Structure 1
Amino acid sequence: MAKQILNQGRRWYVLHTYSGYEENVARNLKQRVDTLDMGDQIFNVLVPTEKKTKIKNGKRKIVEEKVFPGYVMVEMIVTDESWYVVRNTPNVTGFIGVGSTPTPVGDEEIKGLMKRMGQEDPKFKIDVNIGDLVRITEEPFKNMEGKITNIDEAKGKIKVNVSMFGRETPVELDFLQIKKV
């Protein structure tokens, strides 16, 4: 940042990190801010996550998943000193922006991200795709097989075409009622 002070005030920026090191970067950066007394320029460090419900082997499990793997959000005032502290944190590969100049994230994007992170109902995540062959595990269609035609992760529902009476019939099921063949 060649002796340039970007006095845009307190804004959110995105750091690129090595994938899998996001929590490590956030922890290291917070520690550096405390050690170097930079709390008046670097305010928040955040690894955006959201709760998702994964279904594996018929069991439902709520997990925290990173919204943007390989990225960390930092709220700061960009000065030569704050830029240097952030940029030289271990496993930070750089800021998102043009050249060495960080580009702030828009206020609407931040509001949307905070809302997404604060959601109470976890989203569903299942390891099947449209067109996959599945077996139904519960009555009234137990042990019947069919192809997935629609997946609604928000509701935890799935539509499967099952062959009954010589023709394909769509059936709506819960994620827990199927198993991949």
Structure 2
Amino acid sequence: MSEAKWYVVHTYSGYENKVKANIDKTIENRHLEDQILEVRVPLEDVVEMKNGVQKVSQKKMFPGYVLIHMIMNDDTWYVVRNTRGVTGFVGPGSKPVPLTDAEMAPLGIQREEVVMDYEEGDTVQVIAGAWADTVGVIQSINMQKQSLTINVELFGRETPVEIGFAEVKKM
């Protein structure tokens, strides 16, 4: 499986948030969470003066564009390309070109290397979120999404639950 990279998608003007919402919904419906990791409309804070009052508002950094962190394959390409409001990927012809780390740096989106001391089979306690104070055994670790799948007991059954790295502590 190849590594996830950031791609730029061109959208109709003003459709950036609709495209983000549509792709997020499609990811959920088609269970592509492990292939399309994040959809982002980059915003920046802008200070405006109106009637002598300073007002801070958020403006789109790149109107008409949406950033997508995904593993490029036929399925993900098809899903994104055929989303309502998307005109295509940025790149020559029909071949999307991923952004380099140097291009991503000014956007404030950086890759964080997470060092963790968990392993599959370890027992952990959930310290935050809906499952707080629950104890579970790690079944799998997803470094890209920075999450763990743990088995917790729910209604007398073992049930897999996905939890973020920051929400658990080792027992």
Q: TM-score category by the smaller chain?
A: 0.5 to 0.7
The aligned amino acid for 1:41 is Q
Q: Does 1:73 align with 2:67?
A: yes
The aligned amino acid for 2:103 is E
- Bigger radius of gyration: 1
Deviation digits for residues 91-113 of structure 1 (CA, Å, limit 9, x no counterpart):
00000011111000011221220
| SS of aligned partner of 1:30 | helix
User: Within 2, Cα distance between the matches of 1:24 and 1:64?
Assistant: 17
Equivalent positions of 1:154-173 (< 5 A) are none
User: Within 2, Cα distance between the matches of 1:75 and 1:24?
Assistant: 17
Q: Does 1:22 align with 2:26?
A: no
Count of aligned residue pairs for this structure pair:
109
Alpha-carbon RMSD: 1.2
1:8 Cα shift? 4.9
Counterpart of 1:85 in structure 2 is: 79
User: Within 1, Cα distance between the matches of 2:86 and 2:34?
Assistant: 21
Counterpart of 2:56 in structure 1 is: 62
Q: TM-score, normalised to structure 2's length?
A: 0.61
1:9 Cα shift? 1.8
| SS of aligned partner of 1:101 | coil
User: Within 1, Cα distance between the matches of 2:21 and 2:27?
Assistant: 10
Among 38, 45, 52, the residue aligned to 1:51 = 45
User: Within 2, Cα distance between the matches of 1:114 and 1:33?
Assistant: 24
Counterpart of 1:10 in structure 2 is: 4
Counterpart of 1:37 in structure 2 is: 31
User: Within 2, Cα distance between the matches of 1:33 and 1:79?
Assistant: 14
User: Within 1, Cα distance between the matches of 2:8 and 2:14?
Assistant: 16
Among 97, 100, 103, the residue aligned to 1:106 = 100
**Stretches (4+) displaced over 2 A:** none
Deviation digits for residues 110-152 of structure 1 (CA, Å, limit 9, x no counterpart):
122016xxxxxxxxxxxxxxxxxxxxxxxxxxxxxxxxxxxxx
Deviation digits for residues 29-77 of structure 1 (CA, Å, limit 9, x no counterpart):
0010000101111000000001111112211111000000000000001
Q: Which runs of 5+ in 1 are unaligned?
A: 1-6, 116-181
| SS of aligned partner of 1:64 | strand
User: Within 2, Cα distance between the matches of 1:109 and 1:57?
Assistant: 37
| SS of aligned partner of 2:3 | coil
